[in-house]
Chains A and B, each alone.
Chain A
């Protein structure tokens, strides 16, 4: 019986994932009606995939722990996929669904590598959700974000500088420091958090003025970020910051010359780094000729290729491969272990899913009129997709390894929390956008100021009576949204 279930579910999971990704692409289309059905189908598929994966894990390992983990993870996914739209009915369901899907797959895969780490990851993800849930609300309350330009810049430099001076060395790079709390040690990776400050800095600096001197000034600040990261030997983050900067300047100026300058400058800097630093040369060598150094510098990448190659299209099945043979698998090479046990087709689906998230963000950015928020959404999108490109491309020997995490899939608290904050920042901005649209709509169809006190804030409305809100989600909640926007607009006026 066990063999039947695990063998068949290998294929079922892949097929379901393909359907899920197709749904995602369909949802990107503007003209499509009845997206609600697709969203519901996505949720259904996610829960079925979760069930199949955990059944596999439990059957193969014969370990009851997985049943408990399954329960916890489903509670979380239910909370994220159902409660979030109940609170913020105008949130972007596609982005939310995809986030849940990725987090679910991530915890499954991590639990297969190290059960303890999966538990830790679960707790962090749960805490991140609690924090992130406040973000759209905070975004709607506080309006001076765009005025803190130099605060963002200095916070970023100070944090990164602190790591450079005081940070712990892990695998040759200084990227983290540990703070002791009453309940135990927590290791932070500040470069993750600085990403947000960096994006806010650039958005705040460039939303109004994009003359040459302004761009040059941001270049200096961004350059300091990048140089500190390079000195910390955190090449992956340095690249992400650099590319994020170049594209954000391009988006702010719409001047292709900056893109060109970025490409030229980046190549030049890469060449200089190659000449200057031995560890950069090592990475390039391990990328070009890993098989010659299979025992030494090429070990990690060749083991990663073994995992992908052995998994092939449909994977070896959960717990049936040997992903722990890859060093740092739960962080830098998580994608290889996904390919190994769930199959390359599943891995490709995951890549496409991430691409959908990115395209979704780009689409939103195009719709946003407010340059500041537009730049934030754009910047988050760029850093998100480029990080994925670095880690997946590195793991399959498409590009040299840089050692960054795969957002929402890899083990790592800072990464998971920051990515979730980014996603919810986008949700918050998206909700504002929807409200503006509706305000426009409302002002055209007639004023409904009479309903103002049904919901001063949708947060209050839901925490008070989730069930009621749930029932009225279709109509009532959206009314709340419109009214809220009107309150705000009247305040502004």
Chain B
């Protein structure tokens, strides 16, 4: 009896230890308080980071005197997503640190290196990133502040991630102090995953989803007379630039991004249920994301006052979202409702090119039903065909999406948003863009999306 009791106790403890070992090894090694990182780095050269076609994004160069330098051939281009490794770690340098500082070189190489008195080569990390798409995205964002996220719909692979302003990781040692000293500097912030923005009209995707959920049989019969503004009590919402949209149905309200109509829709929503939908779409929730990110937030609740509800339903007010989160929602719509977890490390190889570890696409689960995603796809197609993103129509590929012009001050200045995917029937890539302070999404973000889609589909030819 006593023997059995302690046997069980020990077996449980062994199970706990085995579970810990199986799940926590990387987390333990990557923790900056763990001195074993330095031990590994004293034995192995930091490994190379490549894009999905094998182009070098980061490598360690050793000179004749065994001095090691971390070199980033594309300088500023991948500053946030690949990151840096000397002043703390960021991006892939942080995520893949475990693989980069470990080696799986052959035993004979280890012996030879030991004899020669040199370190072993750390493992090579293949990312899902695409240099060409990154370059297009980066050049399109140009001098504007903002962010662009490009993902593969069916897998969640991160193809490009741009954040402006950026920095040159080759010079991180030199610029570090000035970046840290300047409290207003947001250069080190990865806007794509950490930047919190008002979603503006892109949020109408969410409002529309809630309306469809609450009125599954009648939403198609919806009609609204737009006079350029909507009033409820003393609260007033205007359409962008005061445009009068006339009589609009549900699809037209969405395609033309009619604020008045959406304020009207929002006022009719059940705020408690809306809060549940937002939770289901991961607002105020942790994202299934390995990159450093900030949580999106909303203030929707049963008790929310009308004024706030009107603002919220058109993506203004207290709602804040990161570009990567909006990309995940869009990509789930494109993917029939199922969210694929975004990931950036594709596989890890040793110096002989043998795969040490391979990462497979992983589904997070269903964010919305297949029918809901079909309806939203149709709405987003209308945006391109006859709405605010017609700049994307008439291409060799079909696209769908939603624009946004998120006002961030009282002067009517706005961030330009676009989030969408292509092709519509069998979506391959999902693009989310924010251009800070540029103006309307249709004018400033949609053309960028077009160039990225163009580049992607040209590349495929």
Chain A residues engaging chain B, CB cutoff 8 angstroms: 1-4, 7-8, 247, 250-251, 294, 302-303, 305-306, 308-310, 312-313, 316, 320-322, 325, 339, 344, 347-348, 351-352, 355, 358-359, 362-363, 378, 381-382, 385-386, 389, 392-393, 396-398
Nearest Cβ in chain A — how far from B377, in angstroms? 42
- Considering the complex of A and B, which 5 residue pairs feature the smallest CB-CB distances, nearest first? A309-B28, A3-B111, A362-B3, A306-B34, A310-B36
Chain B residue nearest to A389 (CB atoms) is B9
Residues of A within 8 A of B7 (CB): 355, 359
- The bracket for how many chain B residues form the interface is 20 to 34
Query: Is B13 in contact with A392, judged by CB distance below 8 angstroms?
Result: yes
Residues of A within 8 A of B355 (CB): none
Query: Is B111 in contact with A322, judged by CB distance below 8 angstroms?
Result: no
Query: Is B34 in contact with A2, judged by CB distance below 8 angstroms?
Result: no
- Interface SS of B by simple majority: helix
- The docked-state distance in angstroms from the alpha carbon of A250 to that of B10 is 21
Query: Is B18 in contact with A348, judged by CB distance below 8 angstroms?
Result: yes
Residues of A within 8 A of B52 (CB): none
- The docked-state distance in angstroms from the alpha carbon of A4 to that of B6 is 40
Task: Determine whether B425 belongs to the interface, using a CB cutoff of 8 Å to chain A.
Answer: no
- The docked-state distance in angstroms from the alpha carbon of A250 to that of B1 is 11
- The docked-state distance in angstroms from the alpha carbon of A344 to that of B3 is 24
Question: Which B18-32 residues sit within 8 Å CB-CB of chain A?
Answer: 18, 20-21, 24-25, 27-29, 31
Residues of A within 8 A of B10 (CB): 351-352, 355, 385, 389
Task: Determine whether B33 belongs to the interface, using a CB cutoff of 8 Å to chain A.
Answer: yes
Chain B residue nearest to A295 (CB atoms) is B33
Contact of B35 among A7, A251, A325 (CB under 8 A): A325
Contact of B33 among A294, A348, A378, A381 (CB under 8 A): A294
Chain A residue nearest to B31 (CB atoms) is A306
Residues of B within 8 A of A294 (CB): 33
Contact of A358 among B3, B20, B24, B29 (CB under 8 A): B3
Residues of B within 8 A of A313 (CB): 21
25 A/B residue pairs, CB under 8 Å, sorted by A: A4-B107, A250-B2, A251-B2, A302-B31, A303-B33, A305-B24, A306-B29, A306-B36, A309-B29, A310-B28, A310-B34, A310-B36, A313-B21, A321-B39, A322-B36, A325-B35, A347-B17, A351-B14, A352-B10, A355-B7, A362-B2, A382-B2, A389-B6, A396-B20, A398-B17
Residues of B within 8 A of A312 (CB): 21, 25
Query: Is B21 in contact with A322, judged by CB distance below 8 angstroms?
Result: no
Residues of B within 8 A of A386 (CB): 6
Query: Is B6 in contact with A320, judged by CB distance below 8 angstroms?
Result: no
- The docked-state distance in angstroms from the alpha carbon of A363 to that of B7 is 13
- The docked-state distance in angstroms from the alpha carbon of A251 to that of B1 is 10
Chain A residue nearest to B39 (CB atoms) is A322
- The docked-state distance in angstroms from the alpha carbon of A4 to that of B344 is 35
Residues of A within 8 A of B28 (CB): 305-306, 308-310
Query: Is B9 in contact with A3, judged by CB distance below 8 angstroms?
Result: no
Query: Is B20 in contact with A2, judged by CB distance below 8 angstroms?
Result: no
Nearest Cβ in chain B — how far from A160, in angstroms? 26
Task: Determine whether B110 belongs to the interface, using a CB cutoff of 8 Å to chain A.
Answer: yes
Query: Is B25 in contact with A309, judged by CB distance below 8 angstroms?
Result: yes
- The docked-state distance in angstroms from the alpha carbon of A392 to that of B111 is 35
Residues of B within 8 A of A362 (CB): 2-3
Other contacts beyond A3-B110, A305-B28, A306-B31: 8, CB < 8 A: A250-B2, A306-B28, A306-B36, A308-B20, A309-B29, A310-B25, A312-B25, A352-B14
Count chain B CB atoms within 10 A of each CB in A309, A316, A352, A359 and give the residue with the most.
Answer: A309
- The docked-state distance in angstroms from the alpha carbon of A316 to that of B101 is 14
Given contacts A308-B28, A309-B28, A359-B3, contact A3 B107 (CB under 8 A): yes
Count chain B CB atoms within 10 A of each CB in A250, A313, A355 and give the residue with the most.
Answer: A355
Chain B residue nearest to A250 (CB atoms) is B2
Residues of A within 8 A of B27 (CB): 309
Query: Is B35 in contact with A2, judged by CB distance below 8 angstroms?
Result: no
Count chain A CB atoms within 10 A of each CB in B2, B9, B14, B24 and give the residue with the most.
Answer: B2
Task: Determine whether B114 belongs to the interface, using a CB cutoff of 8 Å to chain A.
Answer: yes
Residues of B within 8 A of A325 (CB): 35-36
Task: Determine whether B222 belongs to the interface, using a CB cutoff of 8 Å to chain A.
Answer: no
Question: Which B262-277 residues sit within 8 Å CB-CB of chain A?
Answer: none
Residues of B within 8 A of A316 (CB): 36, 39
Residues of B within 8 A of A7 (CB): 107, 110
Residues of B within 8 A of A1 (CB): 111
Query: Is B13 in contact with A398, judged by CB distance below 8 angstroms?
Result: yes
Residues of B within 8 A of A303 (CB): 33
Interface string of B49-85 (1 = CB under 8 A from A): 0000000000000000000000000000000000000
Query: Is A355 in contact with B6, judged by CB distance below 8 angstroms?
Result: yes
Chain A residue nearest to B108 (CB atoms) is A4
Task: Determine whether B16 belongs to the interface, using a CB cutoff of 8 Å to chain A.
Answer: yes
- The docked-state distance in angstroms from the alpha carbon of A48 to that of B150 is 57
- The docked-state distance in angstroms from the alpha carbon of A37 to that of B27 is 44
- The docked-state distance in angstroms from the alpha carbon of A302 to that of B34 is 9
Query: Is B17 in contact with A396, judged by CB distance below 8 angstroms?
Result: yes
Residues of B within 8 A of A2 (CB): 111, 114
Nearest Cβ in chain B — how far from A50, in angstroms? 24
Nearest Cβ in chain B — how far from A30, in angstroms? 14
Query: Is B111 in contact with A385, judged by CB distance below 8 angstroms?
Result: no
Query: Is B31 in contact with A378, judged by CB distance below 8 angstroms?
Result: no
- The docked-state distance in angstroms from the alpha carbon of A339 to that of B28 is 14
Query: Is A302 in contact with B33, judged by CB distance below 8 angstroms?
Result: yes
- The docked-state distance in angstroms from the alpha carbon of A386 to that of B18 is 20
Residues of A within 8 A of B13 (CB): 351, 389, 392-393, 396, 398
Contact of B24 among A251, A309, A347, A348 (CB under 8 A): A309
Contact of A320 among B9, B39, B111 (CB under 8 A): B39
- The docked-state distance in angstroms from the alpha carbon of A347 to that of B114 is 29
Chain B residue nearest to A321 (CB atoms) is B36
Count chain A CB atoms within 10 A of each CB in B6, B27, B107 and give the residue with the most.
Answer: B6
Residues of A within 8 A of B39 (CB): 316, 320-322
- The docked-state distance in angstroms from the alpha carbon of A352 to that of B2 is 16
Count chain B CB atoms within 10 A of each CB in A3, A8, A325, A386 and give the residue with the most.
Answer: A3
Question: Which B88-135 residues sit within 8 Å CB-CB of chain A?
Answer: 107, 110-111, 114
Given contacts A294-B33, A306-B36, contact A358 B17 (CB under 8 A): no
Residues of B within 8 A of A339 (CB): 17
Chain B residue nearest to A312 (CB atoms) is B25
- The docked-state distance in angstroms from the alpha carbon of A4 to that of B113 is 12
Nearest Cβ in chain A — how far from B11, in angstroms? 9
Residues of B within 8 A of A321 (CB): 36, 39
Query: Is A310 in contact with B29, judged by CB distance below 8 angstroms?
Result: yes
Query: Is A309 in contact with B2, judged by CB distance below 8 angstroms?
Result: no
Chain A residue nearest to B28 (CB atoms) is A309
Residues of B within 8 A of A389 (CB): 6, 9-10, 13
Nearest Cβ in chain A — how far from B361, in angstroms? 26
- The docked-state distance in angstroms from the alpha carbon of A362 to that of B5 is 12
- The docked-state distance in angstroms from the alpha carbon of A381 to that of B17 is 23
- The docked-state distance in angstroms from the alpha carbon of A385 to that of B111 is 42
- The docked-state distance in angstroms from the alpha carbon of A7 to that of B21 is 20
- The docked-state distance in angstroms from the alpha carbon of A316 to that of B29 is 12
Nearest Cβ in chain A — how far from B37, in angstroms? 9
Nearest Cβ in chain B — how far from A315, in angstroms? 11
Contact of A344 among B21, B31, B110 (CB under 8 A): B21
Query: Is A247 in contact with B21, judged by CB distance below 8 angstroms?
Result: no
Chain A residue nearest to B107 (CB atoms) is A7
Chain A residue nearest to B12 (CB atoms) is A398
Residues of A within 8 A of B107 (CB): 3-4, 7-8
Question: Which B153-205 residues sit within 8 Å CB-CB of chain A?
Answer: none
Nearest Cβ in chain B — how far from A396, in angstroms? 5
Residues of A within 8 A of B14 (CB): 348, 351-352
Chain A residue nearest to B120 (CB atoms) is A3
Nearest Cβ in chain B — how far from A342, in angstroms? 13
Query: Is A344 in contact with B114, judged by CB distance below 8 angstroms?
Result: no
- The docked-state distance in angstroms from the alpha carbon of A352 to that of B16 is 14
Residues of A within 8 A of B2 (CB): 247, 250-251, 362, 378, 381-382
Residues of B within 8 A of A308 (CB): 17, 20-21, 28
Chain A residue nearest to B11 (CB atoms) is A355
